Amino acid sequence: MKPHTPTTQNRRLDKEYWEESNMPKCELCGLYFRIITYSHLKFVHGMSTYEYSDMFPSRPMRDRDFIKDEENRRKAVSNSWWSRTPEEREEICQAMSKAQKGKVLSEETKEKISKASSRIQSDPEYQERHSKIMSPILREMWTRPDYRKLKSEQSSEINKRLWQDPNHRKKILKGHRTEPTPDEILTTELLEKNFPNQWEYTGTKSFKGGGRRRPDWTHKTLRKVLECDSLFWHSGYFGEDPPEVRIKHYADLGYDCLILTELEIVDSPTFLNKIKEFMEKEDLNGSSTF
């Protein structure tokens, strides 16, 4: 038998081989490892790597020869990968993807993998350790022009594909919408200047009148509401209800509603005249300002 060859695969029984090796031994269970891992300590002994190091400060946790060989191997694999052309890398990825297709895991296996992954990734110690390991690796990868180009092309392709979905486009555009909008800011200034302390902006607040809608402005004493329709957000593309539907909705709640367009707001005289006429008109309770 060759020297330094284990007679069994049992790391607990074959002491002759394992004790002669440079592998670190877990002082808690007596097993030998190339690396005493976080998972072994956490799920077998119920402690963290920091607690183990404090308990056995003089005992190694890594096989230095193995770590050095592993680093060289990974570096060689990385250099070999990035020395290939984009076409060759794409061909390899497609071959790997094809090899994995058709392999269906059972629901029980999927559930076990999901729970184990969630448990590990939610651990603050794991997150800190993972960040320390991956941060320098990712920084080094982003210094490579070919890697940046590849990621940019992948991101562009994914975004183009997603943008073809109308629901995705609406979601993205609505996410960029700010409230109040420039038109709403201008309208608020005009209302406060010409009708001080009479109108309240309720576009970002819950509407006291009930219902799912929030009018842009609500009169403080009368049951009247105002809405501002911009040419972009109320073009019909985003599925907004037409004006007559919204007016009926507020009428059912006991409110008179006036809907102004963006062009009417920019034209101050037209805007002020419409507001005056609207306020002079009696609301559904028979009240008016003038």
pLDDT digits (tens, 9 = 90+) for 202-245: 877 666 665 667 788 888 888 898 888 776 655 555 556 778 88
Computed over every residue of the chain, the mean pLDDT equals 76
Q: What pLDDT does residue 67 have?
A: 65
> How buried is 31 (Cβ within 10 angstroms: 0-12 exposed, 13-18 middle, 19+ buried)?
middle
Q: Mapping DSSP to helix (H, G, I), strand (E, B) and coil, where does residue 195 land?
A: coil
Contact 129, 38 (CB under 8 A): yes
> Quick one: pLDDT at residue 3?
41
**pLDDT value, residue 214:** 79
For strands 256-261 and 199-201, give the pairing: unpaired
Indicate the length of the chain as a whole number. 290
Residue 138, C-beta contacts closer than 8 angstroms, at least 6 positions apart:
none
Alpha carbon 15 to its chain centroid, in Å, reads: 50
SS3 content of the chain, % helix, strand, coil (to 5): 55, 10, 40
Which ranges of the chain have pLDDT less than 70?
1-22, 64-71, 73-83, 170, 172-179, 205-212, 231-240, 266-267, 283-290
Task: Specify the pTM.
Answer: 0.40
What is the arrangement of strands in the sheet containing 199-201, beginning at the earlier edge strand?
A: 199-201, 217-219, 224-229, 256-261
